[in-house]
Amino acid sequence: MKRLLHRYFSFDGRLARLPFFLRGVYLGLGAAVLGIGSVPLFSTDTRLGYWAGVLVVIVAFGLLAVGMASLTVRRLHDLGLSGYHAIWVGAAQVGWAVLSRVPPEQAVFGLPLAAISLWITFWPGNRKANRFGDVPE
């Protein structure tokens, strides 16, 4: 359990491209399972069931948010950047999510924001050790 928590919720060290991508997928799937698992709670006729469903959704969203922040910070560390850069990276991802739901002629303005997500995912990290640790395996 300690290894799992460190893998998904630690903010120290570096994270290579493939583990960043795969762990993001696994984290999203885990949050989706929790969210879908809360559906029967919402379909009950009691207030307790409804609020239990709300609690499960909030926990799933919180785990997803903290986990993705952790993965992003460690990926930025692999690129040689401080974790504070996760603020503008996260803002760009939220901006792209919003602009992807507008008409196509307006969605073009969000393409540079989408490019930031692609850069974080696919740009190679530092080949040598940097101030955040050794090269990830």
Domain boundaries, the chain: 13-81, 83-121
Mean pLDDT per 10-residue run, the chain (137 residues)? 89 94 95 91 86 92 94 95 93 90 88 92 93 87
The token pair at 119 is 């850069």
The token pair at 67 is 């986990």
Return the pLDDT at 70. 96
CB < 8 Å & 24+ apart, contacts of 65-71: 66/9, 67/8, 67/9, 67/23, 67/27, 68/24, 68/27, 69/11, 70/8, 70/9, 70/10, 70/11, 71/8, 71/15, 71/20, 71/23, 71/24, 71/27
Return the pLDDT at 43. 85
**Dihedrals φ, ψ of 133, to 5°?**
140, -175
